[in-house]
Amino acid sequence: MRDLLRWMVWERLTRPRPRDPSPEVFPRALPAHPARVVSPQVAVTWVGHASFLVQLDGVNLLTDPMWSDRASPLPMLGPRRWVPPGVPFEALPPIDAVLISHNHYDHLDDRTVRRLARRYPDAAWFVPLGVARFLGARGAARVHEMDWWDEASLGAMRIACAPARHFSARGIRDRGATLWCSWSILGPSRRVYFGGDSAYHPEFTRIGERHGPFDVALLPIGAYDPRWFMQDVHMNAEEGVQAYLDLCAPHESANRTAMVPMHWGTFKLTDEPMDEPPRRARAAWAAAALLERAYWHLAHGETRRA
């Protein structure tokens, strides 16, 4: 609480925040995702923030679905969207599974969960320890609650829970009461890693060893400033590129694995300019001598295939 007050009060008075660009600078793509993607392709569509439509081996998955206007328990307060969801909710294809990384409001949204549970009652939900109760109370029926390194089946696919460095809370008295995680989607022909919300940590290499090589890695690069306060919960852009290299190292898959930067350009959560994270990520990517074709900088609503 002392550090939070230092950031939200003292630094606001003594350290003016950089100016943000107009929301119009963030391009939007018209949704062009298919109904299904069959082997051996994988398709990834960025809805915004950490929300993706991931399609592989005939299965449609959502990550940290968030379609509400604010990431907050209150309808009129809290971070508001800068860019509308890249895929209108009504335009979603049939959803077979939903992956939740943790219970923060920008990753686990009450209203979105209820809408998905009503529209896709047979969808499987994969969540870290302690989150199943929240989903069950909002209509989700098929919930798999998992610890780090647990695996569960989804037809011919495996869903693997992996470590992350973050925290959980939806109020002032439940900090750390539920788990946080990342996810590996292990299909018969393709593999996707979803980094959730995480600071940099030493387990990325182990995740790559156990679950790789990945075809696509969805990795957070934003919400990092001030660094003294955010470094234990969010990667900056340079650390996001290093996490990519760590994931690829066990199988020497750098440049064969596509990196998709996320957790930027949707909600104003911290002090860096809204358009800064991808600029820094591209510079770190170039400094690492990685190929441009392996860096998938998606617009909201854009679909890329591999």
- Spatial distance between the Cα atoms of 117 and 124, rounded to a whole number of angstroms: 10
3-state SS, residue 287: helix
pLDDT digits (tens, 9 = 90+) for 141-151: 999 999 999 99
Please say whether the beta carbons of 275 and 281 come within 8 A.
Answer: no
Average pLDDT over residues 297-306: 96
> At residue 5, does pLDDT exceed 80?
no
Predicted pLDDT of residue 252: 98
Q: How many domains does the chain have?
A: 1
Q: Is residue 2 part of a domain?
A: no
Any domain includes 23: no
| Residue 10 pLDDT exceeds 90 | no
Sign of the alpha-carbon dihedral angle for 224, 226, 228, 233: negative
Structural domain contains residue 3? no
pLDDT tens-digit map of 77-108:
899 999 999 999 999 999 999 999 999 999 99
With respect to residue 24, please indicate whether it lies within any of the assigned structural domains: no
Mean pLDDT of 185-197: 98
Residue with tokens 């190929």: 291
Task: Name the residue range of residue 262's domain.
Answer: 31-71+80-305
Flag whether pLDDT at 6 surpasses 80.
Answer: no
Beta bridge partners of 157: 154
Which of residues 67 and 19 earns the better pLDDT score?
Answer: 67
Q: Is 161 within 8 Å of 126 (Cβ atoms)?
A: yes
Indicate the SS3 state at residue 182.
strand
- Long-range (24+ apart) CB contacts under 8 A made by 112-115 are 112/65, 112/66, 112/67, 112/68, 113/65, 113/138, 113/139, 113/140, 114/138, 114/139, 115/67, 115/89
| Domain-located, residue 25 | no
Q: Is residue 151, in this structure, part of any structural domain at all?
A: yes
Residue 301 in any domain: the answer is yes
pLDDT(11) > 90 = no
At residue 25, the pLDDT reads: 84
Model confidence at 133, pLDDT cuts 50, 70, 90, reads very high
Determine, yes or no, domain membership for 140. Answer: yes
Question: Does position 178 have pLDDT exceeding 90, yes or no?
Answer: yes
Q: Could you read off the pLDDT of 39-85 as tens digits, one per residue?
A: 899 999 999 999 999 999 999 999 999 999 999 998 888 999 999 99
User: Mean pLDDT, to the nearest integer, of 15-39?
Assistant: 89
Does the structure show a pLDDT above 90 at 301? yes
If residue 286 lies in a helix (H) or strand (E), which one and from where to where? helix 276-287
Tens of pLDDT along 240-265? Answer: 999 999 999 999 999 999 999 999 99
Any idea what the CATH number is for the domain that residue 65 is in? 3.60.15.10
Structure tokens at 138: 């909002």
